[in-house]
Structure formats: structure tokens, C-alpha cells
């Protein structure tokens, strides 16, 4: 070890050390992938050995020019990777990285208490599918670069990534493909799916475009329409089957606030003006702050909130993800700081302008879906684990005894549903 007494030379030494680490990470890429018809994009690829060493893995970045760098981590299926479907998993927020979903919910491993290592997850969705976890948009998780503050730009970046990925790994290109995610991914997923359908059916002269075999989208507790969803804030806090968590005064205040907030939201939708949308979002934030006085988790009303993130496991994930050896193995710059959420992204997206919304959804099958019978959902093990309503390709499943993060709260039932869905079996 070299000890420098002079602070000037110490600073120079520190800068050189950081540059060396950056070069070390970048020099270990297994491959650089490109497509001639997507000249602004390239993928830098590694083959890490973390989390689940029993399967083939790839990690790295999709670079958009020199301005955006989206991190991904791919795991082959533990079952039959040459046959099992491919799933793209996206967390929401906006600003929550998909690595959060990997370690906290459905990935091949969970981070140990204290963040010192990982443990094999027997209920991972990789049990019967290959999964791509993508930290998007830019500056979520390990991703970095110029901010993206709208869903449509983020969606095309994902489409470009899939084109390059399937070109290199053609053994996956013809497999069934599904897009899954939760929360604000309810915005991302339909937009990405729309892009895929559009470009699958377009004839614009681009050669060797890969047809992506999109079969379905899966959205867990999706955030779609604030006007519909936020009306139920007071109902959940004050009239749920678990009993009220706020007093009458607070409940009445939430009801009054919703009327005012909904008017502001309609003004935002109509005008698409940033100032109007910020005002509307701030109004709803006030309703959430009122709920937080209950000291209950916003993700699970049954639980008290433990710390700023509500779940101590998320602190362990941050600690593990910020280990230098982990970042180096994945191809991440060791100086990059990982967070399980980025509040700045959340703000920027909102500034750009569940059961309830599935019934309010406008489509050709609205009446049929709303009139469809709700049936008991029985798992393969014979357990009544939820209720399901379905009509012409749209299915709504409610899984019992779970909060916002269903695969975390009910891993067995969640995996049971997922396998039936991706293999087109009756729920």
C-alpha cells in the first residue's frame, strides 16, 4: 500500500485509481454486439457467475450513442432453455430498477440479511422461463446517462435492445416472448408491446428485422390511471377488510382531497401542461402523506413500515449491489452507486404529463369482461389462493394474502400462476 502525505498527489492517485478500475471493468467485455440498421445502439456483454451458477447468464449494457447506458441481466431457464418462453421483467416506480425485482421477488436468488451473499430461490420464475431483467429507464439501478422522462422513448430503447439481443442469441428468437412487470410498468409494458406489434408488421425496407414472438403481457398491481386508482386510497385506508387504519377525521379529509385532486388531474390530462401535472401529482402526494400517518406500509396495509424503504431486505439489496466485486463481475463501473429507487426519475416522469381499472378499461370486450363470472382460483396443490375473472384474452387475478409485491409475499402461488399462464394453461 502506498501512503501519500501530500493532499495534491493523493487526489491525483485517487483519480488514477478510479480510471484504472473503469478500464478494468470495460476491458472484460466478452463481446460487443451491433446491428447495421440500429447504428445508434450497441450491447456490451459479459458472462457473470453470480446468483445462480447452474444456468447460463449474460449481463452488460445497451449503449445508446454515448448518452444512455441501460443495464441488463439475463438468466436461462432452469428447465428447458431451448424450449421455455423468454420473459422481459420490468419494475416500475418510475425509478425502481428491475434488479430490485430480481433479488426481492422472482429472481433466481435472494440477498441474505446483511447483504453479504445470496441464497438460491426455489420459487424463481426462472424455474420454467428464461428472464431478462432490465434496469430502465436511464439512471434506475445500474443504468446511467442522460435522463429519459417519457415512456415512449424508453419503450423504443427496449425494442432496440431486443433486436440486437435476439440477433446474437438466435436460439431464443423464435421462442414465445412475454413482457411482465409491476406498478408503473403498467405504463411501460403496453407501450413496449405496442412498439413490438407495430414493427413486427411494418415494411419500411429495413433488412433482417427480427419478428418478436410476443404472446402476452403480465402486469402486477399496475399503475395506469390516477383518476380511477386514487379514488380507492380512502376506501383502502378506511373501509378495507382489514379494518380502518386512519381515524374518521383523516378518512373524511382523504375523501375531500380526492375530489379536488381529480379535478386537477383532469386538467393535467386535458392540457398536457407540465405545471398542471405537477400540481395534480402534488395533490395526490398529500393524500399519500396522510395515509403514511398510520405508519402502515403503502405496499401492504397489513404491515407497519420499517424504515424509509418499508422492507429491511431492500437495504440489504443496496448493500450487496454496491459491493465492488459484484459490480465488477457484472460489468458495472465500481464507482457507480446503486439505489433501489430513484426519486428524481419518478418526479421527471410525472412532470411529463386493479380491479377498478380493468372494469373501466375501454375495449371491445368491456361489457363481456365486466359481466364475466368471478371464479375461485385453485393452485396445482389444490389451495384456494385467489379469485379470477377472464374474458377474451383479458384476465384479472387476485392472489390472497399478498400486498403490492405478490411474488415476494406469495412465492409458491405466484410461481404456480406464472407457469400456467406462460404455457397457456387454464388458471
> 267, 287, 302: which is the final residue of a domain?
302
Question: What pLDDT does 7 receive?
Answer: 39
Tell me if 126 sits within 8 A of 75, measured CB to CB: yes
User: Could you tell me if 247 and 214 lie in one domain?
Assistant: no
User: Could you tell me if 204 and 272 lie in one domain?
Assistant: no
Question: What pLDDT does 357 receive?
Answer: 63
* Parallel/antiparallel/unpaired status of strands 384-391 and 394-399: antiparallel
Residue 10 falls within a domain, yes or no? no
User: Could you tell me if 194 and 233 lie in one domain?
Assistant: no
CATH number at residue 418: 3.40.50.12670
Query: What gap in Å lies between CA 311 and CA 308, rounded to an integer?
Result: 8
Task: Name, in order, each residue with C-beta under 8 angstroms of 286's C-beta and a sequence gap of 6 or more.
Answer: 257, 261
Residue 347 falls within a domain, yes or no? no
User: Could you tell me if 231 and 124 lie in one domain?
Assistant: no
Q: Can you tell me which residue has the cell 451473499? A: 117
Boundaries of domain holding 395: 354-427
User: Could you tell me if 394 and 247 lie in one domain?
Assistant: no
User: Could you tell me if 196 and 291 lie in one domain?
Assistant: no
Residue 315 falls within a domain, yes or no? no
Question: What pLDDT does 348 receive?
Answer: 52
User: Could you tell me if 245 and 198 lie in one domain?
Assistant: no
Q: 343: closest CA among 93, 33, 21, 83?
A: 93
User: Could you tell me if 109 and 162 lie in one domain?
Assistant: yes
Residue 316 falls within a domain, yes or no? no
User: Could you tell me if 170 and 249 lie in one domain?
Assistant: no
User: Could you tell me if 178 and 232 lie in one domain?
Assistant: no
CATH number at residue 284: 1.10.287.410
Residue 147 falls within a domain, yes or no? yes
pTM value > 0.85: yes
Residue 25 falls within a domain, yes or no? no
User: Could you tell me if 248 and 373 lie in one domain?
Assistant: no
Question: What pLDDT does 188 receive?
Answer: 86
> 187, 220, 253: which is the final residue of a domain?
220
User: Could you tell me if 55 and 188 lie in one domain?
Assistant: yes
CATH number at residue 152: 3.40.50.1820
> 262, 281, 302: which is the final residue of a domain?
302
Residue 307 falls within a domain, yes or no? no
Question: What pLDDT does 278 receive?
Answer: 84
User: What total number of domains does the chain contain?
Assistant: 3
Q: DSSP class of residue 304?
A: B
The angle formed by the CA atoms of residues 224, 221 and 321, to the nearest 5 degrees, is 105
Q: Which three cell numbers stand for residue 89?
A: 421483467
**H helix runs in 27-62, sequence order:** none
What does pLDDT average to in each consecutive run of 10 residues of the chain (427 residues)? 36 41 58 90 95 96 92 98 97 85 97 96 98 90 78 81 94 96 88 91 75 95 81 90 92 93 88 84 88 89 82 93 96 91 54 62 88 95 95 93 94 96 93
Residue 186 falls within a domain, yes or no? yes
Amino acid at each position: 500500500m502506498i501512503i501519500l502525505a501530500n493532499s495534491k498527489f493523493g487526489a491525483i492517485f485517487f483519480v488514477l485509481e478510479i480510471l484504472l478500475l473503469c478500464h478494468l471493468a470495460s476491458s472484460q467485455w466478452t463481446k460487443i454486439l451491433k446491428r447495421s440498421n440500429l447504428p445508434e445502439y450497441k450491447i456490451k456483454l459479459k458472462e457473470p457467475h453470480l446468483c445462480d451458477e447452474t444456468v447460463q447468464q449474460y449481463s452488460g449494457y445497451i449503449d445508446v450513442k454515448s448518452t444512455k447506458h441501460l443495464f441488463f441481466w439475463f438468466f436461462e431457464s432452469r428447465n428447458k432453455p431451448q424450449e421455455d418462453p423468454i420473459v422481459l421483467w420490468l419494475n416500475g416506480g418510475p425509478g425502481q430498477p428491475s434488479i430490485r425485482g430480481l433479488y426481492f421477488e422472482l429472481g433466481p436468488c435472494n440477498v441474505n440479511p446483511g447483504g453479504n451473499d445470496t441464497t438460491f430461490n426455489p420459487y424463481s420464475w426462472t424455474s420454467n422461463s428464461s428472464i431478462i431483467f432490465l434496469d430502465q429507464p436511464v439512471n434506475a439501478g445500474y443504468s446511467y446517462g442522460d435522463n429519459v422522462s417519457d415512456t415512449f422513448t424508453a419503450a423504443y430503447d427496449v425494442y432496440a435492445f431486443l433486436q440486437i439481443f435476439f440477433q446474437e442469441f438466435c436460439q431464443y428468437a423464435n421462442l414465445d416472448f412475454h413482457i411482465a412487470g409491476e406498478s408503473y410498468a403498467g405504463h411501460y409494458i403496453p407501450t413496449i408491446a405496442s412498439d413490438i406489434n407495430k414493427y413486427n408488421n411494418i415494411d419500411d425496407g429495413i433488412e433482417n428485422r427480427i419478428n418478436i414472438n410476443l404472446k402476452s403481457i403480465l402486469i402486477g398491481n399496475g399503475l395506469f390511471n390516477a383518476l380511477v386508482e386514487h379514488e380507492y386510497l380512502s376506501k383502502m385506508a378506511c373501509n378495507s377488510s382489514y379494518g380502518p387504519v386512519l381515524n374518521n377525521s383523516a378518512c373524511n379529509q382523504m375523501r375531500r382531497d380526492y375530489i379536488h385532486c381529480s379535478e386537477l388531474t383532469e386538467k393535467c390530462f386535458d392540457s398536457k401542461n407540465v405545471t398542471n401535472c405537477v400540481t395534480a401529482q402534488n395533490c395526490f402526494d398529500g393524500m399519500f402523506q396522510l395515509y403514511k400517518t398510520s405508519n402502515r406500509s403503502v405496499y401492504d396495509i397489513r404491515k407497519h413500515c420499517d424504515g424509509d424503504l418499508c422492507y429491511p431486505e431492500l437495504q440489504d439489496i443496496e448493500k450487496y449491489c454496491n459491493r465492488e466485486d459484484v459490480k465488477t463481475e457484472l460489468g458495472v463501473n465500481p464507482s457507480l452507486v446503486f439505489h433501489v429507487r430513484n426519486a428524481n426519475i419518478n418526479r421527471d416522469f410525472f412532470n411529463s404529463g386493479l380491479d377498478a381499472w380493468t372494469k373501466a378499461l375501454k375495449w371491445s370486450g368491456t361489457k363481456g369482461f365486466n359481466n364475466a363470472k368471478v371464479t375461485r382460483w385453485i393452485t396445482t396443490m389444490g389451495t384456494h389462493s385467489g379469485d379470477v375473472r377472464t374474458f377474451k384474452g383479458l384476465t384479472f387475478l387476485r392472489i390472497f394474502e399478498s400486498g403490492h409485491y405478490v411474488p415476494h409475499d406469495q412465492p409458491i402461488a405466484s410461481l404456480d400462476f406464472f407457469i400456467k399462464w406462460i404455457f397457456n394453461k387454464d388458471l
